[in-house]
Amino acid sequence: MKRLTSRQKILFGVYAMLMAIVGDYLLGFGTFSFSDSPDAYMGITANVVPDWRYAVSSVLGFICAALFSVAATELMTVMEKKYGLEESKLYKLFKIANWGGILYFAFIHIGICMLPVVFNAGMEATGSLQASIDMVIRVLKSIAVPLGAGFLICDGLVTIGWIGLVVTGRLPLKKIALICNPLVMMPLGQLLNYIAEGLDSGSESFGWLLMYLVCALKLVGKEDRIHEGQIAF
């Protein structure tokens, strides 16, 4: 690992998000959707999808978290050692979001994968769409707070920090980089649902991917090896 350049380490964030995107589609494509169909229950339709998809998605979440930890650690080192952002409040928001992401990216895949598995079990046991969706909603209520908190801390804070650092010129990036974040990519991804429901599944992860790709290509040189020291909050 010590032989890798800073760019190579930050690119681990791109590889991590590729894992996350695959996991997102295994989890989200062709499972739950909103519909005004007469067959929908509470505006929700769902399909029984093989459980192996959710098992693979969970494993990919763990791989994503491991790869992302390498990238995030190196990126924080670069931002502090090369760009002197230690005292920036915007950077601290960005940093908290990235550290939170190391845990959140694994948890979210496991947590959300519980929902379709519960639906599958409900359909197998009862054969009732209504009863199965009610079971899913019941489970969702129990994990909604950590899921929501993780979303706000990771996606919310990273977007605020990233946009602030780019707009204020603390990072040497063109303004087009403002779109390279999860909260901008998510609504853009919704447009894909007009093609097929669930095609937006990887849009949040794609925003993270773009952000780390930009950082790898623009914030460090090809052979840069930023001195590794302790990173203080």
- Residue tagged 């990238």 (tokens): 71
User: Residue ranges per domain, the chain?
Assistant: 7-218
| 49 close to 201: Cβ distance less than 8 angstroms | no
Burial 150-178 (b: 16+ CB within 10 A, else e): beebbbbbbbbbbbbbbeeebbebeeebe
pTM of the model: 0.88
d(CA 218, CA 206): 18
Nearest partner of 97 among 2, 20, 26, 163, judged by Cα: 163
Ordered per-residue pLDDT tens for the chain, 233 residues: 778 999 999 999 999 999 999 998 888 777 766 666 666 666 667 677 888 988 898 899 899 999 999 999 999 999 999 999 999 999 999 999 999 988 888 787 788 888 888 888 988 888 887 888 889 889 888 888 888 888 899 999 999 999 999 999 999 999 999 999 999 998 888 888 777 767 778 899 999 999 999 999 999 998 888 865 444 44
